[in-house]
Structures are given as structure tokens and as C-alpha cells.
Amino acid sequence: QVQLVESGGGTVQAGGSLRLSCAASGRIFSRYNMGWFRQAAGKEREFVSAISWGGGRTSTADSVKGRFTISRDDAESTVYLQMNSLKPEDTAVYYCAIGRSAYSPLATMQHEYDYWGQGTQVTVSS
């Protein structure tokens, strides 16, 4: 059974930083792409960042490029999202997800991920 558990969310002032973590179990973590998505109140869930199996490739949404960094620790089966220079518009529930198939090309579309965490709230105050 695949499980993803996010942590690290919270409330921070604009300009601050947070680091999200997502611990995975139930699959051989190192073989799968990992992604972060977010959903603001009243909006569709959107792509934030993804990292390939092996960690050699990443993709990041333009809205957070230069401020957010994704990384992974295969030994700990954990993916991270370092968020710096946070803005009020970054307020959302953040979800991690694991790729649908092992050894796939880097994916940014939601349908290419088949298991999701429960989400962690990030609130940025102005």
C-alpha cells in the first residue's frame, strides 16, 4: 500500500521560508518521479515542481521559479520542497504525489501521478 505523508506546512509572513517534506512508503521510491502540486481556495489544483527518479532532472512552474527548490533523498524515501521569498499568492494546500510508473520521463501533469498525500496547508500573510 502506497502512502505519502506531508509535513512542514504552516503560517509565515511574506518574504519568509518554509520547507515541506513528503515521506513515501509502499514503493521503491528511487524508481519514481515525485511531484508537488497545490490548490488554493476556490481554484484548480496546479503543478508546482517535479523531480525525476534519480534526481537528475527537475521542472518548476514559472510562478515559483527562482523561489522554490525541489529535492529528494532516496535513502530516506523523502522529497522536499524548499520555499523561499514566499508571497501571499503562494497560500494553498500543498500535495505531494508519486509517479504512476517506474523509470518514466519527468512528468508535470496530474494524471501522471497516481498516489497523493493528504496535503499540508501553507498560509502566507502580507
The string of pLDDT tens digits covering residues 32-72 is: 999 999 999 999 999 999 999 999 999 999 999 999 999 99
pLDDT at 82: 98
Q: Which run of H or of E encompasses 102?
A: none
pLDDT band at 21 (very low <50, low <70, confident <90, very high): very high
Rounded-to-integer distance, Cα 81 and Cα 49, Å: 8
Average pLDDT, the chain: 97
117 vs 44, 56, 120, CA distance in Å?
17, 23, 9
pLDDT at 84: 98
All three cell numbers of 17: 521560508
pLDDT at 33: 98
Q: What percent of the chain is modeled with pLDDT above 70?
A: 100
**Could you tell me how many residues make up the chain?**
126
Q: What percent of the chain is modeled with pLDDT above 90?
A: 99
Give mean pLDDT, residues 73-91.
Answer: 98
Rounded-to-integer distance, Cα 48 and Cα 94, Å: 9
Q: Positive or negative, the Cα torsion across 85, 88, 89, 90? A: positive
All three cell numbers of 10: 504552516
pLDDT band at 121 (very low <50, low <70, confident <90, very high): very high
